[in-house]
Chains A and B, each alone.
Chain A
Amino acid sequence: MLDKYKEESQKISVPARLKAETLIKMEEAKRKKQLYLGFKVAFATLSILVVAVVSFQWMQPSYIKTKLADNKVVDEVELEDGTLTYEEIDSLKVFGGGITTKREISEEMATAYIDLQSFSFTDYTLAETKFYGNYKGLDLSFVEVQQMFKNKNKRIEIRCQYGNRNITTNSKIGKHNIFVSYNQNKGKIEYNVYFKEGDLIYALTMNELTQKESIDIITQFLKKFS
């Protein structure tokens, strides 16, 4: 009996109008879907491009330097006779590499600096001291505190750097192994002293000081680490 059901059901047909209408609606829905997908892809591509362009520009050294040059801290440095020009400060990088105009100061360095301010070094007056601010956000390992004691051309510079660089030692003050180099350039005498403390490498550059004066300053400085 139920076999006849199939036979009867086969006679049922879908109205042609319904088929045609449905087909039109399907095509329309398909177009809308493709349009939506197209927009999505275009938007994603555009977003990626914008991010890429901005990142690329931001990572350019020239862009960074421009930003640094615009920095107020740098602009405020007074370049009087006898002090260093911006270019000279930059050229004084002891360990090379990196940008030297903005610095992050380590806690020890800050403490040492405060102590050196009260250091009784009769012939020298503290003429100018400049910290170049924090440098976070850019992946530079170089950190530095620079101090300039000015009396004519005499100055002391203290810098430090993070890193694994090995220091060759040729002298010792207290428990500290240090490396001392001596330069004489156009009659000017310069002492360079390097030592390592933890992850930091410190460098002291002393111009126009006697050996005794230099050793006094280094000893005073090293006391902070003993």
Chain B
Amino acid sequence: MKRILPIILLIASAFISCTANAVNPSDIDTSTWEGLFKVYWNVMNEDYVHFSRNDISWDDMYDEYLPKFQALSYDNANDSLKAFKYFKEMAKDITDYHYSLSVVDKSGVKLSFNPALERKWSTSTNAGSINYFPDIKYNDTTYQNVNGTFFSSADREKEFNYIDGYYEIKNLGSNFHNSSSITFEYEISGDITKYDPSHDNDKEKAAWILFMAALDDYVADDLQFYFGITNTNVAYFYFSQFPNLEILDINTEKVKRSYKDIEYLGVKPYEFLSTAAKTHVDNFSKDLNTALDLLESIANTDKAKVSDTSTLDVKGVVIDVRSNGGGAVEFVHLLTGIFFKDGSSKVVGQNRYKAGYDRYSYTPWLDVAIEGLGEREDGDYPNHVAIITNGSSVSCSELTTLTVKEFLNSKQFGSTTWGGTCSLTNREIYQSGPYELKNANGDTILSIYSTTYQFRANDGTSYEGVGIAPTDYVAESSTEDKRFEEAIKWAAE
């Protein structure tokens, strides 16, 4: 007995010494490059949801880059260049196609890096021709100061053109006259809670920022939609992204709510908007409501009301999500649910989330179901529904594409989508999602924009990084919108 117990304990202690402790990000000194590296590495290690999809050796990354970051000084501008280079190297194989990484050095110089975009550039003949993110030059001697980098609308247009996305809407029918857009006039930066429309000198700006923030920014950044009926009796709907449904003014027996009553940080921002801004928002909301009513009417009755006294028989529907950057998932459920019979449920795929801080700890795959809202007695909408996509159709627009293709009498025109089929939301609730680290001044010094879940289609396929290929590829034309024309033509058949 005396001889056996020490042996057992000796064996046990040998095994105990094999376990190790991870670093808690909140305990890290973030005023050094080593500290920022450790936060980045640990946040990714714990919360990044896509490790199971590719074979990045995140452990090896730690061994390789820790000594490199330890050798850097946070006060040295040349060391910032090296730090940015290391961060880019670490992130280059990330396969989350929403992913971007931003790091700010002590002097305010910022690196913004989007590995998916970089990958698409590198495989193109025009690589390097577009300065999407004004970036650091890595020649160790010179670099651009890029404070406040984010792409301008001109850059964005070039990007879309480059990735097969620029389009013009032409040859619209005489009845095609409705259009609406909303533009977010101010960029949100820093601490949003500092904006108070009741005291701020720039009340208009503060009200706008809080109003848009209350809508989760989903109507921000030049959201536009067009809709109408072509002269071939096809209903056409274009969305540059999908707005949060909070922008609607609903007053029915079951639901009574309005964007006018949205509260944010204890105020109702709408009340502080200027008369012109209120009119802008009111018109947008009204137009969106009109578009949804039109779609609902067509899906249920094949008829569109074009005046108080007349209706049109509509042959089919075109949904245009070219260069649609995504937006609110709830809008996708509404937009596609309108076509499906009330009471039916369409499982379009499955999501799974992180379920613990271990790198490979996930929830089960959970069905993603679109609930039917339609009122046709004979089932789902039976007529043609064409969807137009391009290389910049991302995120929720890809979920829309999959849903329409799988469950409706549909064809996809255009080109393969971006391949960012997952989405994102509050990481406090779901563990994974966008992460920000602020310094003592409240300025963001590390930002990881990443998705909340993995998505797979019903056949088990992940389209992340792959995109959804069209049923009918249509090449772009510099003189006419062939994709639009092909889609309209088929929808009218």
Verify that A and B bind, or say they do not: no
Binding site for A on B (CB under 8 A): none
Binding site for B on A (CB under 8 A): none
